[in-house]
Structure 1
Amino acid sequence: MRRSGLRPTRQRIALADLLFADGDRHVSAESLHEEAQAAGFSVSLATVYNTLHQFTEAGMLRIVQVEGARTHFDTNVSDHHHYFIEDENLVFDIPSGRVEVKNLPEPPEGTEIANVDIVVRLRRKAR
């Protein structure tokens, strides 16, 4: 946290422990809040939101926007793409090398492409 410019408060440390303990993952603020509560850590949903956004601004997380108001946070900050299973609200990585982005348009004058995010939306087949 210190290397990212954040002061390691008790709440940030507890949330970071939950986020980064088991490798790369995707969480919403609500799901992380539930995990914190289940682990016996009392923290408000607002604090979870604020902490996730602070971690994102510090480069520790990446936002994956998959639907309107719902934001997922990814602990893997490298350039990669995602699947999203709509009826389960589940986000997971597309294996690297599986997507090739070609022929992007030139960005408008004075701008540059920062990143290209591809989200492939899925739904379970009816049986």
Structure 2
Amino acid sequence: MKLACALRTGGCKGCDVDGLLRQMGLRPTRQRIALGRMLFARGHRHVTAEMLHEEATQARFHVSLATVYNTLHQFTKVGLLREIAVESGKAYFDTNVSNHHHFLIEDENRLVDIGGETISFGGLPAPLEGTMISRVDVVIRLRRIPAAR
């Protein structure tokens, strides 16, 4: 589905979040609009639910962590976000829904985009009967090299 604003090009400062939510089939509640503005106004980014909850708290927008999680999952379901699971119980939500992969800088708990065209595969296994491959996610884990003493 084609997005109504500049989400695909890095952000939507001043975009119509209300209209975008309606276009994607979501009711534009006060919480969804506020969280959508926080997510999409700064260009492409990776956030956890806890990070977004903290931003909302700092902005004096009172919302529960459960509502943040629900909203992130709703946005993911309609294609506004992409969920990247980095370990059991920890996921980032990416505002860049294009085909790309990630570096995870472990000591900083930070994701960095890798262009989708920079990684190639020699062959993928055949999908199970009745299924198809929808996407391949690669997360390459990095750790800073300790400084020499």
CA RMSD of superposed structures (Å): 0.9
The counterpart of 2:139, out of the listed 81, 99, 119, is 119
Which structure 1 residue ranges, 5 or more long, are not aligned? Answer: none
Pairwise CA distance, 1:87: 1.5
Q: Spell out, residue by residue over 1:5-54, the C-alpha distance to the aligned partner (whole angstroms, 9 max, x if none).
A: 00111110000000000111100000000001111111110110000001
The counterpart of 1:3, out of the listed 9, 23, 38, is 23
* 2:63 corresponds to: 43
Amino acid at match of 1:111: T
Percent of matched pairs sharing the same residue:
61
Q: d(CA) in 2 for partners of 1:56 and 1:109?
A: 26
Judge which range, 33-42 or 94-103, deviates more.
Answer: 94-103
Q: d(CA) in 2 for partners of 1:101 and 1:33?
A: 37
The counterpart of 2:111, out of the listed 80, 91, 114, is 91
Q: Structure 1 segments of 4 or more deviating over 6 A?
A: none
Higher RCO structure (Cα 8 Å, ≥6 apart): 1
SS of residue matched to 1:91: strand
The counterpart of 1:26, out of the listed 46, 60, 65, is 46
**TM-score normalised per structure 1:** 0.96
Q: d(CA) in 2 for partners of 1:62 and 1:39?
A: 24
Which structure 2 residue ranges, 5 or more long, are not aligned? Answer: 1-20
**TM-score normalised per structure 2:** 0.82
SS of residue matched to 1:47: helix
